[in-house]
Amino acid sequence: MPGKFKLDDIVDIARDISKKANYPLNDFDDLAKALGGPKAKIKYEGKDRDVAEARQIPSEFYPIENEPDLIAKLAHLRSLSGDQPEGVSTTPAQPNLPPQAGPPPNFPESMRPKKGAPGVRGSKP
């Protein structure tokens, strides 16, 4: 059943990881090391969780370049399960375009973004 999540919880865990991480995080092993090892516990959404749960993160999400990239990818993971962020509108804004603007362009599949994890690149903490 889809639920809600707080973006602040994701930001908090990303900040905790960033205190210990050496970016980029190239795979689960790098992430687990930053979290204290695969048998460590982390607090997320007020509950203790096993770091090993992070093994569920798809390989397409790596590398994780920096803290903003980690935040974007964790939020995206939550939304893939149907969960929605609290306090964020998920209804796309409809632009107020004049009638002569016409329909939006129909780009061929080759020009569309690749499927997978969104990310934030180019910024260094």
**What is the full DSSP assignment across 55-67?**
GGS-GGG--B-SH
Of the two residues 25 and 125, the one the predictor is more confident about is 25
| Cis status, amide bond into 63, omega within 30 of 0 | yes
Q: Helix (H, G, I), strand (E, B), or coil: what is residue 16?
A: helix
Q: Report the chain's mean pLDDT, rounded to a whole number.
A: 80
**pLDDT for 32-60, tens place per residue?**
988 888 888 887 777 888 888 888 888 88
**How far is the C-alpha of 69 from the C-alpha of 120, rounded, in Å?**
4
Beta bridge partners of 84: 4
Neighbours of 29 (CB within 10 A): 12
Taking residues 50-79, report their average pLDDT. 88
Q: What is the chain's Cα-based Rg?
A: 18
**pLDDT for 12-25, tens place per residue?**
888 988 998 899 99
What is the pTM assigned to this prediction? 0.65
Q: What is the pLDDT of residue 64?
A: 92
